[in-house]
Structure 1
Amino acid sequence: MDVLLRNGYDVNLSLLRQDQMQASASRLAGQELVRVGDESMTSAEYLNRQAQIEYRAKDFLRAQSSGIISKLRVNNVMDISDSNALNRGEFNINNLLGRNSGLDYHYSSSPTLTGDFAKYDFTYLGSRYSVNQEQRIDSVVNDHNALKEIKQKYGVDTSNAYLNGSLRGERYFQGINADPHSINMSFIDQSGYLENTKSSNLNSYASSSTLHTKYGDVEVFLDLYGDNDKLGIGKLTSNALLFNFDSNGDGILNSSDKLFSKLKVRGYDKDGNEKIANLSDVVSDIDLTKFINSDVVNWNQKRRDVINSESLANNDMRNFVDTTNIDHRISYYSSNPYTVFTPESRYKKAEADSIKSFFDAYADKDGWVDLRNNNVFNKNSLFNNFAYEKVGFDGKLKLSEFNPIIKSDAPRDKNFSYNGYQRDSFMKFYRDYEKESTAHAKDVEWLSKNLKEYNVENADEYISRLNGSKSSYMIAMENEFQKATRLEFSPENLEKVKRAFEANPNKAALMMSDSDSVIAMKLNDNGSITLKFDSGREIEVTELYSDTGKLLGDKTRRASLNLETKAMSDIELGSISFNNIGILDTDGKYKTLQEIGASAIKSFSTKHGKQFLIYLGDNKTLTAKDLYNISFLNNEFGGGIEVGERGQFYRKLDVRA
């Protein structure tokens, strides 16, 4: 191209020769002409477009980082950009598109916490359009003529990039009776009964952005690209966001979590110079329960009780909500932070005597316990929830929690099939993920091309990162996939589930997370339990587990049910680690096999399921009904060994002269 680099931008010389009068006038106004491809523009337009392209590249990367940090869900993602940028007024869709699209991008207030602890604030397209929850925001945007023109002119799906995650309108694997437009756990109540109040049960340490370590106070950030977060998009604005990196859901953030190695800390030395280190260099683990209040309150229920009490006292029933027939587990899951951890870390097996007592107390004359009449799960109940053992697509036994019961007056299609519902839900997910992935790839291709054409500084670096990026909606969908299938998301695992539905849809449907609710249970003569679901299906289980409402273990160690050992042979059992597999001892403590002096372990079967025979010294043995994974906690926040000045971190406000 016949160009001359002038004042930091390329000027097309042939164009200047063709119309020198226009060029002269442009130069007099400071508007030298530039050609990019077949398009000519003034230098000011060129520089503006160049800045927009660079900002857009950053925003794509920011979207990915934000999606990971916030652990976005399809049904509650709010914004694919940096919320701090919104507060600074930097995020404006009109500016990003480089022209007046006629769209107003409104954002009420940035949430202090995101993901599972979000206080939901939704994005609306204002002034010209009134968008409610029943409408898909992206469909409204796609119909907007001005945006269509931009998409046609530049050949890129701008709505995919910038409105990604804005109230897409549904979850893929929600309950069969759930409102498809709900925002919280697939349930919604306009009275606010189901507001997510988990964050209200977190303490001030969770709200802080400073983490206490034996080396001093530091700030944590995600170094996704290995450059110490050069773009400034990985900062964790609160310690509560650390919950989102507990990938195995055991309540401990450590090396067993897949992104632990990507977390770094930032602080300062005694002279005020910035110091950066790996999180693993300053803490070996983080006990996430340190961020949870000692007393967890169901704020939804408490607020509703106050409103109802005032309504009765004032004889004004306009705000009164009869909670008699509302499943208490709905507000429980909206309020209790411990429910973000895996069931295996919270549930204990219900003993045979306890199960018999339960059915004696609650069963009708036919032996059924009806869970729909709220006599089991209510605000004064001793029960939080139940779970049963289930095999997922990974072939491993996991606990499957009972879904809260949602009563629906909508008539179900006479041809409704639970297996068909599960299959259709997955296939819709499969198609939509493919579309989203394709759209994102096209956006990246367009961005990469323009980064080069507009000579954006560090274009190759941006392109390299963009080529491996994912949109926030892709990340949200991948999180949904993992929750529904118990498989880590990968293209291979996506195809694996698809093939399973094609080969045996009935079997595949049962390996998905339940989309129906247990409405009744019956204790059988052989000790097994029949579960009846609102989809019409029934299954028989041999074990029942009860939610403790807390994590298993104590301040020095954590425990979680190891159900995999139930499928092991004696040879396989002999090879398990005695250092981190253990039992619940008779004194109520979780101890490793090594601590109790075990020399060998075997299994045997009873009418109540598989149990374990553990050999000790002096020809002694003991039996255990369950084995547990045991994790030890460091507990060195703010204490521990003495650290010299050179290794110490200081807060910015505490910089020494």
Structure 2
Amino acid sequence: MKINSSINLNITSNQSNFSFMQNVSNVFEYNPNQAIKMQRDPNQASYFYGDMPTFLVAHDAQKSLIKLDNKDYISYFKTTLHYVVDEETYKNLTSKLNSSTLNYLLFKEGNLDLNTQVIDEKQIFKIMIDDMIIEQTQNILGVTSRHEYSMYSFGNDARLNYSYANKFSPDAGNYKADNYSNQNPLIPNSYYLNSYANSNLIDTKFGKAELFLDLADNNDKLGVGTFSSNSQLFRFDSDGNGFVDKNDDYFDKLKIRAYDKDGNEIIKKLSEVVDSIDLKDFIDSKSNALNKWKEEVSSYGWDEKTYEEQLNIISSYNPYSIFKPEVRYESLSQNDLNELSKLADEDGWIDVANLQGIDLAYAKKGIDGNYKLNELNYLGISNNQANSYANEQYAKFNALYEDYMAEINALNEFFNSYKQVANDEIMAEFGAFIENPEFKSTIMLQIEREFTSATGLKFSLENLQKVKDSFEQDRANTANMLKDTDVLTAIRINKNGTFTLKFNSGREINVNELYKDSGKAFDIELNLNAKFMSEIELNQNLDLVVSLAKVKDEITGNMQTKPLKELGVEIIKKLSNNKFILQTNDNRSIIIDQLYTKLNDKEKDQNSNKNQIDDKEKFYPKPLKIWA
């Protein structure tokens, strides 16, 4: 008997014969009318006639052994479909995968050609790698329709790459637990997205182009990275400053697809055509958002009360709240302080019930020694006592740490083990993935977002370990440097101008200054570190080119933001009321509340070499193809 890599095996569980259906010539020779004498291997769930299996009971994610041409093959069954692999493939690869993963690879509709039942190691490995890339790409893009399973799969809510610790553990159960709230970066409410955000073409200096994510550096060969709309760019602002640029995760994996005047496809890295993308360009005005909302709900038939309630919700929504507080918050003005004082009792305490609708924050020192704004939470159910707050923070972080390390260890252990047995053909095609696996499961991406939210640090293994070590050295201090998880209950305005914050955990902390949400996002960022530097550090370390101050224009009287270099600042002094004095080279003294940092140099971008282009480099609309 001869066997080819493409045969059809037709198996039924209610008859005692096994027949081959030939779909290529000269694959095997067998007379289906020949009388078959059944004999069963007592150690396997298989029946044999000589070397030929005669009856196999269908199994769900279980394997059976069959012999073809005196060689052992492992057979996998799922309802009416089944596949066989040779022993080497089983030993090298399929035995290293849990049953859910293997079941998905073999029986997910579209993974394999239904006419091909004998599959080799390379086919399975390619499917596995492709699916890891697909899941990571679509998770980053926020696509949720990836896992629509066929009748041959094992559940609509199962995720192949949710957890690598599960994927590469043959005996593991199907891990679906979701302990992380930051599953995807937010995109503003759809009513607040303008037509540019809803378009799938990005504006560049060369013309309009289509965006796509290319994790595998193969120009998205799998066809899963294309943006459905520009609004998906909000998911790439990993530092939350309102710009997508070189400082963000995956910026170097973003590409554009466009066409020249002759209709030839052009693919470039996004960084080759723009220096940054201002996400504020995608946000619509409140008036436009409300008009769109009113038009849509006009036919809903709401009563007046319901309409007013829903209108208040959409009216009070702040589309800029997805950006980090350092680009949204401002120092409290004297008028703000006066209004706040009116809410205080005779001892200076303000109940948070009187603060609803007022968003406040304070500067907190982080693990890396830099100060960041912590937004105060007035709503919540955390009731932990102060002495257990540190333990609660530690327990949450430690679980996050252990989950992530379990993921990365499982990933690396699998590929290190597989590298020892992979054949030359597989290494030639997939060696880069095997030698340096950079895949990230769904849970890894969720953990990374949770880590950044909790610590304010960009995720890296080094930063993950830094926080772990900090907890081991000083649990209470480290817990207080993470994002607050307890709830503010009251604020006291102290006679010396400072504030005492009281939390439902029992914690009380004193801060020098409070900040309020502006309801907007700026192209500048609060330099909170400046508030805590000495005068010597300020004058030695501050970059006068990118450091800015808000000053009143002497002619118009309007407030303007100008670089310290442009103002001619030579010396910076600190005042006792948290303000600064800027002494200039023309002997002026300028008193300011805050120092800022420039986020984006638009003038430099406009004058860059990217603006000098030839006609042959311009992008044109995708040509229409007319079929005869």
Q: Tell me, yes or no, whether TM beats 0.5.
A: yes
Give the conservation status (yes or no) of the 8 Å contact 2:85–2:119.
no
Question: Is residue 2:263 matched to residue 1:206?
Answer: no
Give the SS at the match of 1:400. Answer: strand
Question: Is residue 2:367 matched to residue 1:367?
Answer: no
Aligned to 2:276: 285
For residue 523 of structure 1, report the CA deviation from its aligned partner. 0.7
Give the SS at the match of 2:209. Answer: strand
Give the conservation status (yes or no) of the 8 Å contact 1:33–1:43.
no
Question: Whole-Å Cα distance in 1 between the matches of residues 366 and 231 of structure 2?
Answer: 29
Aligned to 2:525: 560
Give the letter for the 1:627 counterpart.
L
Report 1:389-404 matches (<5 A): 389-404=363-378
Give the letter for the 2:476 counterpart.
N
**Residues 22-73 of structure 1 deviation map (CA, whole Å, 9 limit, x = unaligned):** 85899xxxx9986332869999322387544422211112223334444xxx
Question: Whole-Å Cα distance in 2 between the matches of residues 535 and 302 of structure 1?
Answer: 42
**Residues 268-325 of structure 1 deviation map (CA, whole Å, 9 limit, x = unaligned):** 11111110122222222211111001117699x999x999995677xxxxx99999xx
For residue 424 of structure 1, report the CA deviation from its aligned partner. 1.5
For residue 471 of structure 1, report the CA deviation from its aligned partner. 1.2
Give the SS at the match of 1:585. Answer: strand
Aligned to 1:116: none
For residue 580 of structure 1, report the CA deviation from its aligned partner. 1.4
Of 323, 328, 343, 1:346 maps to: 328
Aligned to 2:180: 171
Aligned to 1:92: 149
Give the letter for the 1:583 counterpart.
A
Question: Whole-Å Cα distance in 1 between the matches of residues 527 and 282 of structure 2?
Answer: 26
- Provide the identity percentage: 32
Aligned to 1:270: 261
Give the letter for the 1:485 counterpart.
T
Structure with max Cα Rg: 2
Aligned to 1:523: 493
Report 1:189-200 matches (<5 A): 198-200=189-191
Question: Whole-Å Cα distance in 1 between the matches of residues 187 and 278 of structure 2?
Answer: 23
For residue 397 of structure 1, report the CA deviation from its aligned partner. 1.0
Question: Is residue 2:460 matched to residue 1:481?
Answer: no
Question: Is residue 2:170 matched to residue 1:155?
Answer: yes
Report 1:378-389 matches (<5 A): 378=357, 383=358, 385-389=359-363
Give the SS at the match of 2:373. Answer: strand
Structure 1 unpaired stretches of 5+: 13-17, 71-77, 95-99, 106-122, 126-136, 143-147, 174-182, 186-194, 314-318, 553-557
Question: Whole-Å Cα distance in 1 between the matches of residues 127 and 581 of structure 2?
Answer: 63
Aligned to 1:614: 582
Aligned to 1:337: 319
Question: Is residue 2:133 matched to residue 1:61?
Answer: yes
For residue 560 of structure 1, report the CA deviation from its aligned partner. 1.2
Question: Whole-Å Cα distance in 1 between the matches of residues 252 and 453 of structure 2?
Answer: 23
Give the letter for the 2:266 counterpart.
K
Give the letter for the 2:179 counterpart.
E
**Residues 161-187 of structure 1 deviation map (CA, whole Å, 9 limit, x = unaligned):** xx6xxxx343379xxxxxxxxx999xx
Of 351, 354, 358, 2:340 maps to: 358
Q: How many residues align?
A: 529
For residue 7 of structure 1, report the CA deviation from its aligned partner. 7.7
Aligned to 2:77: none
Aligned to 1:438: 409
Question: Is residue 2:467 matched to residue 1:497?
Answer: yes
Q: Which has the higher contact order (CA 8 A, sep 6+)?
A: 1
For residue 649 of structure 1, report the CA deviation from its aligned partner. 1.0
Question: Whole-Å Cα distance in 1 between the matches of residues 184 and 259 of structure 2?
Answer: 40
Question: Whole-Å Cα distance in 1 between the matches of residues 140 and 336 of structure 2?
Answer: 42
Question: Whole-Å Cα distance in 2 between the matches of residues 38 and 513 of structure 1?
Answer: 48
**Residues 405-464 of structure 1 deviation map (CA, whole Å, 9 limit, x = unaligned):** 1258xxx57897222211111122222223333344456568768975996983335434
Question: Whole-Å Cα distance in 1 between the matches of residues 252 and 425 of structure 2?
Answer: 35
Distance of aligned partners of 1:255 and 1:441 in 2 relative to their CA distance in 1, 3 Å threshold:
closer
Question: Whole-Å Cα distance in 2 between the matches of residues 632 and 535 of structure 1?
Answer: 43
Distance of aligned partners of 1:172 and 1:275 in 2 relative to their CA distance in 1, 3 Å threshold:
closer
Give the conservation status (yes or no) of the 8 Å contact 1:223–1:234.
yes
Distance of aligned partners of 1:53 and 1:241 in 2 relative to their CA distance in 1, 3 Å threshold:
same
Give the conservation status (yes or no) of the 8 Å contact 1:69–1:236.
yes
Question: Is residue 2:594 matched to residue 1:626?
Answer: yes
Give the conservation status (yes or no) of the 8 Å contact 2:6–2:118.
no
Aligned to 1:35: 86
For residue 643 of structure 1, report the CA deviation from its aligned partner. 4.8
Give the SS at the match of 1:516. Answer: coil
Give the conservation status (yes or no) of the 8 Å contact 1:338–1:549.
yes
For residue 569 of structure 1, report the CA deviation from its aligned partner. 3.9
Give the conservation status (yes or no) of the 8 Å contact 1:57–1:447.
no
For residue 588 of structure 1, report the CA deviation from its aligned partner. 1.7
Give the TM-score normalised by structure 1: 0.68
Question: Whole-Å Cα distance in 1 between the matches of residues 258 and 397 of structure 2?
Answer: 45
Give the conservation status (yes or no) of the 8 Å contact 2:500–2:508.
yes
Question: Whole-Å Cα distance in 2 between the matches of residues 405 and 626 of structure 1?
Answer: 29
Give the conservation status (yes or no) of the 8 Å contact 2:5–2:118.
no
Of 570, 576, 579, 2:545 maps to: 579
Question: Whole-Å Cα distance in 2 between the matches of residues 338 and 291 of structure 1?
Answer: 11
Give the letter for the 1:519 counterpart.
T
Give the conservation status (yes or no) of the 8 Å contact 1:585–1:591.
yes
Question: Whole-Å Cα distance in 2 between the matches of residues 512 and 156 of structure 1?
Answer: 36
Question: Whole-Å Cα distance in 2 between the matches of residues 172 and 481 of structure 1?
Answer: 11
Distance of aligned partners of 1:354 and 1:203 in 2 relative to their CA distance in 1, 3 Å threshold:
same
Distance of aligned partners of 1:201 and 1:386 in 2 relative to their CA distance in 1, 3 Å threshold:
same
Give the letter for the 1:63 counterpart.
E
Aligned to 1:190: none
Give the SS at the match of 1:482. Answer: helix
Question: Whole-Å Cα distance in 1 between the matches of residues 384 and 510 of structure 2?
Answer: 26
Moved more, 241-250 or 582-591: 241-250
Question: Whole-Å Cα distance in 2 between the matches of residues 655 and 601 of structure 1?
Answer: 65
Question: Whole-Å Cα distance in 1 between the matches of residues 364 and 491 of structure 2?
Answer: 17
Q: Pairwise CA RMSD of aligned residues?
A: 4.8
Give the conservation status (yes or no) of the 8 Å contact 1:298–1:332.
yes
Give the conservation status (yes or no) of the 8 Å contact 1:215–1:649.
yes
Give the SS at the match of 1:594. Answer: helix
Question: Whole-Å Cα distance in 1 between the matches of residues 507 and 299 of structure 2?
Answer: 39
Aligned to 1:191: none
Distance of aligned partners of 1:34 and 1:476 in 2 relative to their CA distance in 1, 3 Å threshold:
closer
Question: Is residue 2:98 matched to residue 1:47?
Answer: no
For residue 480 of structure 1, report the CA deviation from its aligned partner. 0.8
Distance of aligned partners of 1:522 and 1:508 in 2 relative to their CA distance in 1, 3 Å threshold:
same
Give the letter for the 2:402 counterpart.
R
Give the conservation status (yes or no) of the 8 Å contact 1:308–1:320.
no
Question: Whole-Å Cα distance in 2 between the matches of residues 572 and 415 of structure 1?
Answer: 35
For residue 582 of structure 1, report the CA deviation from its aligned partner. 0.8
Report 1:204-353 matches (<5 A): 204-295=195-286, 310=302, 335-353=317-335
